[in-house]
Amino acid sequence: AEQWHLVNDGPLRDTKFLPDADGQVKDARKLTVGHPSVIVAVLDEGVDVTHPDLKASMWVNEGEIWGSHEDNDGNGYAGDYHGYNFAAGNGVISTGGRYDTGHGTHVAGVIAATNNNNIGISSIAGGNGTEPGVKIMSCQIFSGSIAATVLDEVRAIKYAADNGAVILQCSWGYISAAANPYDWQPQFATDEQWKGSNVLEFNALSYFVHNAGSPDGVINGGLAIFAGGNESAPAASYPGAYPDFIAVAATAGDFTPAVYSNYGPGTTISAPGGDQDYYWDYVDETHHYSEIGCVLSTLPMHISESGYGYMEGTSMACPHVSGVAALGLSYAAKLRKHFTAEEFKALLYETVVPIDSYMSGS
Q: How confident is the model at residue 281 (pLDDT cuts 50, 70, 90)?
A: low
**How big is the CA angle at 62 (ends 59 and 68), to the nearest 5 degrees?**
95
The whole-number average pLDDT for the span 44-56 is 98
**DSSP letter (8 states) at residue 130:** S
Query: If residue 146 lies in a helix (H) or strand (E), which one and from where to where?
Result: strand 146-147
What digits encode the pLDDT tens for the residues 138-192? 999 999 888 999 999 999 999 999 999 999 999 999 999 999 999 999 999 999 9
The predicted model scores a pTM of 0.96
Query: If residue 166 lies in a helix (H) or strand (E), which one and from where to where?
Result: strand 165-170
What digits encode the pLDDT tens for the residues 65-104? 998 899 999 999 999 999 999 999 999 999 988 899 999 9
Check residue 354 and give its pLDDT: 82
Are 312 and 295 in contact, with CB atoms under 8 Å apart? yes
Strand partners, 265: none
Q: How confident is the model at residue 16 (pLDDT cuts 50, 70, 90)?
A: confident
Check residue 300 and give its pLDDT: 97
Q: How confident is the model at residue 361 (pLDDT cuts 50, 70, 90)?
A: low
Query: Residue 258: exposed, middle, or buried by beta-carbon count in 10 A (0-12, 13-18, 19+)?
Result: buried
Query: If residue 196 lies in a helix (H) or strand (E), which one and from where to where?
Result: helix 191-197
Phi, psi (degrees; rounded to nearest 5) at 85: -95, 95
The whole-number average pLDDT for the span 13-39 is 91
Check residue 218 and give its pLDDT: 97
Phi, psi (degrees; rounded to nearest 5) at 89: 75, 35
Strand partners, 142: 45, 147
The share of the chain scoring above pLDDT 90, in percent, equals 84
d(CA 251, CA 268): 13
Indicate the pairing of strand 246-251 with strand 223-227: parallel
Amino acid at 132: P
Check residue 151 and give its pLDDT: 97
Helix, strand, or coil (residue 245) = coil
The share of the chain scoring above pLDDT 70, in percent, equals 95
Q: How confident is the model at residue 38 (pLDDT cuts 50, 70, 90)?
A: very high
Amino acid at 137: M
| Closest alpha carbon to 258 in 288, 293, 291, 289 | 293
Res. 362: pLDDT tops 60: no
Indicate the pairing of strand 219-220 with strand 339-340: parallel
What digits encode the pLDDT tens for the residues 209-251? 999 999 999 999 999 999 999 999 999 999 999 999 999 999 9
The whole-number average pLDDT for the span 196-209 is 98
| Residue-wise DSSP of 278-332 | GGTTSB-SS-BGGGGGSEEEE--TTT-TTSEEEE-SHHHHHHHHHHHHHHHHHHH
